[in-house]
Structure 1
Amino acid sequence: MRALTPRVASVLSYGFALLLGAVLVAATFPIDFLLPHAGIDWAPQGDAAQHAIAQRYFLGDDWRWPPLMARNILPPDGLNIAFSDGIPLLALVLKLLRGTLPEGFHGIGLFYGIAWLAQPAAAVWCLRGTGEKRVLPAVAIALAAASMPAFINRYGHAALTGHFTLLIALGFYLRLVRVPSPALWAGAVVAAVATLLVHPYLAAMVLALLGAAPATLLLRSDRRWMGAATGFCAAAGAVLATMAAFGYLGARGDGGFGDFALNLLSPFWPHRSGLLPGLVSGEIDATGHGGWEGYNWLGAGLIAGMLAVVVLMPREAARVLRRHAGLALVLFGLALLAVSFRVGVGRLVVLDLGPAPGFLEQFRASGRFFWPVGLALLVGSVALLARVPRFGAAAVLVLGLLQFADAAPNRAAIRDWAAARTAWIVDAAALRRLLAEADRLTLLPTWTCIPAADAFGDHARQLQVLTLAAERPVPVNSMYVARWRGERPPCADSATIATPLEPGELRIILPGARAEALARMPAAATLCSPVGDILACRLSPR
């Protein structure tokens, strides 16, 4: 049979990947999840609610500088939506199109669809960077990449489903160590900046992968390493310049590097494995924080493929490892960063190196840094196994099918999460009517004043009130923020409670502030009315 032409093979490879992604999106995410609007009768939860609130406020605001500011959150200074994971790259595009969008639209659900569509296609592009351009290996890696457990398990945090950015960066690396041209580096610079505007964690990983290109060339004694180093500096400089221009610099998180680390058993711990069901009951964790951020089960298909490579072609694997020594060193460094300074094996911390340097405190969820390692193992295993004479292409197809079957429980879990329609715990209809008449919202207690142990009390109520306020959006004094410019603001609710209500102000008192408000707020007894288990206070309808 005549071999396929390169063009036909390319079309079939990318066509299958995009079709697979589209089918998975349609089978996983309901339409009202992908394309939300104001007035829905169910309440978004947790981090997903935070991201949607931030993006809604941004889309409803004027264009400002820095470009990511939403001034109606925490006025008068406002909030940079990057600090509440509002996916700035998508938010900027949607803001250009907002005149055509439904009222109350946000793109958080839409980004899941984009990521799931892009993941298999980006994997094909990455694999072709190894020189492997046949259709069967492309089908295999599309199936396997769409089934990586760490990718699927990102529900609740839309931006971090952007693992396709890591595959794109790895694809650039593979091409840049062959032909480090200025055009390729220009593309890599754009990819790095775009990834920053998806999520800073992903941008750090992308820069690490791009930095492997000059390192590999240097270790090969290839003089082109200096040009590659210049290209990498351009990428890092562009990311830093974007951070400065878009207001990222000076942000601080809550610290705790190592709390959400990679357990050394995690890549081989088959939680939610479809082919090894019931072997374990949950994530493995030694730090006492649950193990979710460190979840990195590689998948039965990938592990089988890695074992096949070791058995069938150990010399070729060792040669490729030496050939890409710079990448191997970078991936090893990322793995160490993922493990953190508190090394967990199973339920035990076997090595504690003490406090980490201050700059690492920005990366509390260090377990995420293993993602590029898992993806590189996948690409390398498929590329190597496909080279086995006679049955290599068929073997990698089996790898992809095994990985896809093994991921069935993970796909079911995210499908159930996306289809969940959680009831409001506040009176949404009544609050929508009150918010429609308000010029601004004062929400008490503010986020920084709610005790951390109250995650399912006033934290949940506040997110729901903010979700409703964001539909217009109404200026509000409180927000769930992942990072702050400078120090985390102190709790100052007592002073706010003691001030009289102003015209146009709607003051919502959650149970945690109710007693103090009734005791200290001027005219609280006459101006406040119960709305379910919260109080709504105002002078009069506008």
Structure 2
Amino acid sequence: MQSVLNYWKKHNVWILGALVGNITFICIFGVHVLNVTYTDWLLGGGDITQNYLGWCFFRNSDWFFPLGLMDNASYPNPVSVIFTDSVPLFAVLFKMLRAVLPGEFQYFGIWSMLCMGAQGAFGALLIFHYVKKKAEAVVGSLLFVITPIMLGQMSLNMALGAQWLILLSLYLGIYRLEITKKKYMISWGIVGLLAGSIQLYFVPMCGFILLSFLLADVIQRRKYTRDLWAFLSYIGTAVGTVALLGGFSHKHLPDISLLGQSSFNLNGLLNPQGWSQVLTSLPVYGVNSSEGLAFPGTGILLTLAVGTVAWLLHLIYRIFVKRDKESLQIQWSWEENGVAYLVLVVISVLVAVSPKAAYGSDLIWNLDLPNWLYSLWQRIGSCGRFIWPVVYLVILGSVVWMEKKMPWETMAAVLLVIFGILQIYDGKWQLMQRQVQFGTDFIYESRLEDEKWEEWAEEDDLKHMVFVSYMLDDEELMYSLSIYAAQNNMTVNYFNYSCQTIRSLAAEHLQEEMNNVQADTLYIYKAAEEDKCFNPKMEYVEVDGVIVGKVK
């Protein structure tokens, strides 16, 4: 019993922070999504349907090496589960257990709750490092959990909910001088493994955090060998994990359409983009500007403002009441990790802004860069996401700044509770949308209602589905057909994954496929493309808005 009490006393900050995250998850997303056999909530369309179907195809696929490859979502070309954002770490783990899993199985509810818990835990630990007060740390963790960039991504792309990796990386950097070189290197190796096996965007993002602490130690002339070993450990495990999951199994064509369309807008930190009832959303640039969302929340802005007002009042008191002339002298010192934070802000902003920088709806510069550097930014795609470390530094700095400037010990904790409640209230419409989306029972209804689909499903010799028409412009139809294929253990020739190369290979292979039609395949055409249905070896039937071709 004493050992349990000792453990609680030593670790209660992060445990309570995790509890804050988990309670917040239940309040917003409900408990129904934690039922691993309840899958309908994942079939309403959007990226979460892509995430779930990626798992379904991966589960049905044979094992390959590298382990993350599957061939039934891009038949006959292999593609990695990395590119369906299906949380490869969990996908591989549960595929190993597929023999004992129920027919309908999803892990995304559990995954999301774990992410919210870890977000609260590491948020509390970061705050506690600076304020050394448990109440402020636990209460302040709520502001990390309910930040718009976290909740916004959690409801769109489940893998991107692992933003606790950013907080973990900051935590490791802060404590780098207090742990042994071996432990530091192993810790960063684990971060590399996690980042590489969860979502590729976290690999460079966490790497930039580690690089910032390394450069800070070089600039401040500290010993940096531990940073170098940690960097090598991180890169080695991250690259090795991505390779093991099949991330390098094919070339990668950059998506040139995203550059400048999904970047960080220079008004981003003050632009709520629909996450505030009080503040008006500001103009944005680009068709995918939500990827550059950087609004930390009204509660955080209030925290920063109150801390600043308290500092000014204290300064005025010292100057005009105490007659302390030294208060007029501006003093600046780089406490602890100030240099690392500055380096991280510079790197993150430069990458997030991209060569096409915008303020509001205006493009203010379009840099003419070398082709190799321009191509690198194109491969990054949604570069606006790289502003996330800056947002979390703003949250951490605001909470710590206010706590340090409060004249009474418990005042900061009380204000953090108030500001947390205000942030929840100010963003209530966004939160209510997610409660409706995830907290209510959803029953999936397929667009494929004709009895012919059941007849084809009962034919044991049908194993493949080929989309002859381009289907990605009709997401609902695309997903209905893909769900049908996954449920009946059939392959599809392409799917809505993020790898442009596989889509190109599927288009190249289509002509060969149509020149040699097979009896074990259903060929799918849009109803408006009847002119393509001319092969004398096939019979065609129109059902549910599509034309299905089948060898006679």
User: TM-score interval w.r.t. the shorter chain?
Assistant: 0.7 to 0.9
Q: TM-score, normalised by structure 2?
A: 0.84
Question: Counterpart in 2 of 1:145?
Answer: 144
Conserved? CA contact 2:37–2:104, under 8 Å: yes
Contact 2:266 2:360 in 1 (8 A): yes
1:383 is aligned to 2:430:
no
Q: What does the per-residue CA deviation read over 1:48-102, in whole Å, with 9 as the maximum and x for residues that have no partner?
A: 2211111111122333210101122223332211122121011122123323322
Does the Cα contact within 8 Å between 2:215 and 2:340 map onto a contact in 1?
yes
Q: 2:284 touches 2:360 (CA, 8 Å); kept in 1? A: yes
Q: Is the contact between residue 253 and residue 482 of structure 1 (CA under 8 Å) also seen in structure 2?
A: no
Q: Does the residue aligned with 1:221 lie in a helix, a strand or coil?
A: coil
Kindly provide the amino acid, as one letter, of the partner of residue 272 in structure 1: G
Read off the aligned partner of 2:20 and give its amino acid letter: L
Aligned with 1:351 (options 338, 359, 365): 365
**Change in 2 beyond 3 A, CA 1:352/1:59:** same
For 1:402, the aligned partner's letter is F
1: distance between equivalents of 2:390 and 2:498? 26
Say whether residues 1:435 and 2:457 are aligned partners.
yes
Check the 8 A contact 2:57/2:70 in 1, yes or no: yes
Pick from 323, 330, 334 the counterpart of residue 348 of structure 2: 334
- Percent identity over the alignment is 16
Pick one of 521, 534, 539 that aligns with 1:505. 521
Shift of 1:147: 1.0
SS for the counterpart of 2:404 is coil
Q: Does 1:414 align with 2:434?
A: yes
* Amino acid of the structure 2 residue aligned with 1:152: L
Instruction: Judge which range, 58-67 or 14-23, deviates more.
Output: 14-23
Q: Is the 8 A contact 1:140 1:398 kept in 2?
A: no
Aligned residues of 1:267 and 1:296 also touching (Cα < 8 A):
yes
Amino acid aligned to 1:441: H
Paired position in structure 2 for 1:533 = 545
1:261 aligns with 2:263: yes
Aligned to 1:425: 447
Q: 2: CA distance between counterparts of 1:6 and 1:364?
A: 47
Is 1:480 the counterpart of 2:496? The answer is yes
Q: Say whether the 8 Å CA contact 1:9–1:135 is kept in structure 2.
A: no
CA separation of 1:490/1:65 partners in 2, compared to 1, >3 Å: closer, same or farther? closer
Can you give the 5+ residue segments of structure 2 that lack an aligned partner in the other structure? 313-328
Q: Is the 8 A contact 1:498 1:522 kept in 2?
A: no
Distance 2:450 2:98 in 1: 25
Matched residue of 2:290: which SS? coil
1:460-475 map, 5 Å: 460-475=476-491
Residues in 1 aligned to 2:78 and 2:349: alpha-carbon distance in whole angstroms: 37
Give the whole-Å Cα distance in 2 for the aligned partners of 1:7 and 1:383. 26
Structure 2 CA distance for partners of 1:332 and 1:534, relative to 1, 3 Å: same
How many Å separate the matches in 1 of 2:74 and 2:216? Answer: 47
Cα displacement (A) at 1:34: 4.0
Q: Which residue of 1 aligns with 2:321?
A: none
Report the AA paired with residue 19 of structure 1: L
Aligned CA distance change for structure 1 residues 189 and 443 (closer, same or farther; 3 Å): same
8 A Cα contact 1:262 1:370, kept in partner: yes
Partners of 1:321 and 1:44 lie apart in 2 by 49
TM superposition score normalised by structure 1:
0.86
Cα–Cα, structure 1 residues 73 and 362, in superposed 2: closer, same or farther, change >3 Å?
same
Paired residue type of 2:431: R
Change (3 A) 1:319 1:180: farther
Distance 1:390 1:180 in 2: 37
Partner SS, residue 127 of structure 2: helix
Contact 2:84 2:496 in 1 (8 A): yes
CA contact (8 A) 1:46 1:463 kept: no
Distance 1:316 1:188, change over 3 A: farther
Give the Cα–Cα distance (whole angstroms) in 1 for the partners of residues 76 and 197 of structure 2. Answer: 24
CA displacement 1:482-522 (0-9 Å, x = unmatched): 014588337354553454441x32333333544312xx223
Tell me, in whole angstroms, the C-alpha distance in 2 between the residues paired with 1:254 and 1:404: 40
Whole-angstrom CA distance in 2 between matches of 1:84 and 1:336: 28
Q: Choose which of 351, 360, 363 in structure 1 pairs with 2:377.
A: 360
Please say if residues 302 and 399 of structure 1, whose CA atoms lie closer than 8 Å, have aligned partners that are also in contact: no
Whole-Å Cα distance in 2 between the matches of residues 138 and 529 of structure 1?
A: 64
Letter paired with 1:412: M
Q: What secondary structure does 1:328 align onto?
A: helix
Instruction: Kindly tell me the number of residue pairs found equivalent between the two proteins.
Output: 518
Match of 1:104, SS?
Answer: coil
* Structure 1 unpaired stretches of 5+: none
Equivalent-residue separation in structure 2 for 1:393 and 1:433 (angstroms): 69
Alignment of 1:228-307 (within 5 A): 228-249=227-248, 250-255=251-256, 256-274=258-276, 276-277=277-278, 279-280=279-280, 284-287=283-286, 289-307=287-305
Matched letter for residue 91 of structure 2 = A
**DSSP-derived class of the 1:238 partner:** helix
Structure 2: how far apart are the matches of 1:374 and 1:240? 27
Provide closer, same or farther for how the CA distance between residues 182 and 505 of structure 1 changes in structure 2, counting only shifts above 3 A: same
Alignment partner, residue 227 of structure 1: 226
CA distance in 2 between counterparts of 1:32 and 1:427 reads 27
* Mean CA deviation greater in 51-60 or 26-35: 26-35
Does structure 1 retain, via aligned residues, the 8 Å contact 2:216–2:339? Answer: yes
In structure 2, the residue matched to 1:85 is: 85
In the TM superposition, what is the alpha-carbon distance from 1:309 to its structure 2 partner?
A: 4.0
With over 3 angstroms needed to count, the CA separation of the structure-2 counterparts of 1:396 and 1:185, relative to structure 1, is farther
SS at match of 2:117: helix
Q: Which residue of 2 aligns with 1:325?
A: 339
Contact kept? 2:25, 2:113, Cα under 8 Å:
yes
